[in-house]
Chains A and B, each alone.
Chain A
Amino acid sequence: MSNQQTNASLNPTLVKLTDVFKTFNAGTVNEVRPMQGVNLTITEGSFVIVLGGNGSGKSTLLNAIAGSFPIDNGTIELDGQDVTQWPEHKRAILIGRVFQNPFSGTAPSMSILDNFSLAAKRGKFRGLSWAHSSKLQDELKDRVSELKMGLENRLDTAIGSLSGGQRQALTLLMATWLKPKLLLLDEHTAALDPKSADQVIALTDQIIAKEKLTTLMVTHSMQQAINLGDRIIMMHKGNVLHDVNANEKQRLRVDDLLSRFENVRRRELLDESVADLLRLRYI
């Protein structure tokens, strides 16, 4: 009993989704239902990988937690607070984000320094104090030189002139500049070449481990899913299909994941063909 209690206090719940529904373009031919009653609990300190095919609702899950749109039904709790009604910019106090598109996470025409001065105030009040404080500049130089990308002497360069890999690495650094309660990574290496993707993944792993960040990471890469994180959830048609916990995950190989997806695909194909047969016969 006492053992259970200590376990619970060691790993309190950070994110809790209860019966979350979301439909886009309801009632039109473009209707999409990326969330069909999603229930999900994430404990503090865990690194969760989200897998799923196109349109399975994995990116929508992240955007719903971040507050990019209001959900139709259900509740979202973050850090013990009901944030369902909170606008996106208010939730930013708790959340750091990196997007799939390297253009999304940074202000292209502004300098590296400008961008980090914004990141240094994530979720905080922005007043009339000087944005480029010398403290920020010194700290930034140190942290950026750790990236070994040669950017530490180019802090006045417009961030839009950098490569996708450099921008994603910087965005990751920006998202975690102030330690977020929750880090959301939405296929943040999908738009990069393999070498840059590996660099960014290595950096991701390093930062998450060092800061002990609770992370939710969407990926297409089975290899990333196997190598990173301590839990995998597989999304399908707007719901959590499989939930692989830490113990199970250690024994998991790429082939196992692929076969799970294959099972889903077969079931789908069967459904389709049966539907076609029925259609032929009865319509």
Chain B
Amino acid sequence: MTLLIGALTLGIILSLLALGVYISYRIFDIADISVDGSITFGAAVCSVLLVQMGVHPLWATLAGFLSGAIAGTVSGILQTHFKINPLLSGILVMTGLYSVNLHVMGRSNIPFLGTVTLSTYCEKLGNIVFGGNETLLLGWTVSTTDLMTLILMFLLVSSISLVLWLFFHTDLGTAMRASGDNPQMIRALGGNVEYYKIFGLALSNGLVGLAGALWAQYQNFADVQMGIGMVVWGLASVIIGEALAGTASVGTAIIGTIIGSILFRQLVAIALSFGLNPNDLKLITALFVFAALILPNMLSKLSVGKRKEAL
């Protein structure tokens, strides 16, 4: 049960990453690799503020969002202002951020030993709400800290999703969706596609940075390598979400992406508990996304072939 709650919590935290990838990959049709750097950047800034400066965890978490947003802005400016290929600008930002992260952190790993983080507040709140360190849930004994963290993260992600959904139905948000769907059309209607793209990538990477800040506080350390391959992780979540919930509207896509992230984390937890070598995790994630990318094409080819046979 503890394992399940842990996987659930991490899945929910990383769904913010998945939502960020959804914005860049699905709304703007950009495979934005800067995500790999900005998730660590968010964690790095947050951890330094917490450990070395003693900033309140809420502000440190918010700073994680802002640092991700800055990384996204840079990536957006490279793409629009300097007309650099989106994939390449992502690589540039990600590579540059690796050094920036090392400088921010001062070393490759910062543990949060005895530091006041959001987890500390979850522990306190859990003790108050459930009256003790442990409580019974469906017959299992679970830590109230874990339970409280799960509940709070769920509430946070739900409210952020709601805000995102509302935003994408405003005049500005609708124009941003259109600029990914048909840039020529929105230009003819007076939309500044370049500006929307920068703003969208800032929002996307901001969510990713926020995910990084929360993830670091959840696992109680920040590591300079924690971002490697996270964009593929986000893509996997988006793809699972689309398979489950469809792409009919922004609402279903957002809910699907969150479910996709949670489900993917559960699958990983199950695979690991069945003895999957953690070293193989990234390879398997990559293979999974590969399969998900080519399957729709292969399936349609198969059905076309069958139709031809029938004729």
Contact = CB atoms under 8 A, between A and B. Distances in A.
Interface stretch (B45-53, B69-77, B189-197): B189-197
A88 B190 CA distance: 7
Given A126-B171, A130-B169, A108 B182 contact: yes
Interface string A124-144: 101111111000000000000
B37 to A, nearest CB: 29
Interface stretch (B13-21, B115-123, B173-181): B173-181
A167 to B, nearest CB: 11
A123 interface: yes
Nearest to A93: B190
Contact of B181 (A97, A110, A119, A124): A110
B170 A88 contact: no
Identify the interface centre among A90, A103, A115, A175: most chain B CB within 10 Å of its CB.
A115
Contact of A123 (B170, B181, B182, B190): B190
Nearest to B247: A109
A103 B181 CA distance: 11
Contacts of B188: 66, 88, 92, 95, 97, 99, 105, 175
Contacts of A104: 182, 184-185
A95 B190 CA distance: 9
Interface residues of A, number: 36
A121 interface: yes
A191 interface: no
A143 B171 CA distance: 21
B186 interface: yes
B59 interface: no
A118 interface: yes
Interface of A: 66, 87-90, 92-93, 95, 97, 99, 103-110, 114-115, 117-119, 121-124, 126-132, 174-175
22 contacts: A87-B192, A88-B187, A89-B192, A92-B187, A104-B184, A106-B185, A107-B177, A107-B181, A108-B181, A114-B174, A118-B174, A118-B186, A119-B189, A121-B175, A123-B189, A126-B171, A126-B172, A126-B175, A130-B169, A130-B171, A131-B170, A175-B188
